[in-house]
Amino acid sequence: MVGILKELEHKFSLVADGFPEFDALKAAIEPLGLLLQSLGRQQQQDRYFDTGDRRLKRLGMALRIREVDGERLVGLKTAGEISGSLHRREELELAFNGGAWPAEIAARLKDKLDLSALRPVLDINTQRSRYLLWRGAVELAELAFDDCRVQRPGQVISGEFLELELEAKAATEAELKQIVTALDKLLPLTPNSINKLERAEVLLNFAQDISEEA
């Protein structure tokens, strides 16, 4: 069991091809008195669920099953607050071995929808490059560069996009802002006021419209 997470993170869309190299990131971050640690690359597969009438979406919630490093996790994200690129959100994340939804998830959703009506609505396959930012012995924040491929289950149309996420560990909002300012000098950052699921749906809807017009 992972438990309840309080997310505080900046999200940005990236338009450039590829991501900065370690040395370039290090040079941008070190003037802040921070150390940069590479955690390497990992692949994560997310499958999102909702009802046919998109009840969770209308509630501002998202439910997904994530597979990463041989582990499966189920996460329920609640409606949060967004100010520009800064996102605040609560997530309940639990180990998941298949079968019925965990009791903690079911308890939070039972008054909102019929659990049996949940079905897969979207897949996001992400190649993630991860870094930790340290101030001395304090793990301050995690920086992630995400190369995302999105597709609806059983459909051919797909899309791709690049994102940057900067998530607080022990960092304050002010410290996150300093890091964002340093990164913005390294590569162009476009504040993202929607989450990955929302961005994926916008992209796939656009691709569908183009396909139908062709």
Q: How far is CA 211 from CA 43, 79, 208, in A?
A: 29, 32, 5
In angstroms, the first-to-last Cα distance of the chain is 48
Backbone angles phi, psi at 61, to 5 degrees: -115, 160
pLDDT in the model for residue 151: 97
- Helices 173-184 and 22-29, packing angle to 10 deg: 130
Q: Which of 136, 186, 130 is nearest to 35 (CA)?
A: 136
pLDDT (tens digit per residue) in 169-183: 999 999 999 999 999
Domains, the chain, ordered by start: 3-213 (2.40.320.10)
pLDDT (tens digit per residue) in 198-213: 999 999 998 887 777 7
- State the Cα angle at 126 between 80 and 204, rounded to 5°: 75
Indicate the pTM of the whole model: 0.93
pLDDT in the model for residue 214: 59
pLDDT in the model for residue 121: 97
Structure tokens at 194: 């929607």
Q: Which residues contact 44 (CB under 8 A, 6 or more apart)?
A: 66, 67, 68, 125, 126, 128
Rg of the chain (C-alpha set): 18
Residue numbers in the chain where pLDDT is lower than 50:
none
Cβ burial of 62 (10 Å; 0-12, 13-18, 19+) is buried
CA distance 65 to 110: 18
